Chains A and B, each alone.
Chain A
């Protein structure tokens, strides 16, 4: 009886070791998956941040200009204004 009981305990320890090893592998797999997901999220966030508001994120919609300011084609301000400012611009 005593010997038999001893064998049973040894078998139980082997099963415990097997379960612990599987659990450790499970934890490692979960950890690796979490790191991969975190890296993907960070890379996606950096990519979105790098191309400005027009890059698929929320757009910035500017406030309208004052109603009293004339806008005609490419000209802003009164056509009869004595000073003319010309600006060459590149939107990018």
Chain B
């Protein structure tokens, strides 16, 4: 979410909102591999660092920026346990989870990313729309 830094500063650091991300794979094999790699990083308590690393080094649809080799480079750069990371990614243990999450998202009507819900209601991805939805969801005294 490109508006995340602003939302983070205005609402998350102040305890008013929390963000839960659900990685899904619409854009091909490496898209799914990147989502699985994020789960492997999560095993080491580094989901968000890996999330940020993926966004900072995106290559676009069809690129090999998220090949196994490059995902392993990200793990090295983040000082993760690279042997555990490689074993996790190589096992494919999160492949079915990512596939299930993708199917569940599609059943919910998600057909593109990013798709954002605020307190269960789908909103557009602009800063103004997300900000307005958060403010609407806050209790009156906030």
Contact surface of A with B, Cβ cutoff 8 Å = 50-56, 59-62, 64-66, 68-71, 73-92
Contact = CB atoms under 8 A, between A and B. Distances in A.
Given A59-B77, A85-B116, A69 B8 contact: yes
Nearest to A56: B70
Contacts, number: 193
Question: Dominant SS at the B interface?
Answer: mixed
B94 interface: no
A83 B137 contact: yes
Contacts of A86: 19-22, 116-117
Interface size grouping (class) on chain B: 35 or more
Contacts of B56: 53, 59-62
Contacts of A64: 49
Contact of A84 (B20, B26, B66): B20
Contacts of A77: 8, 11-12, 15, 17-19
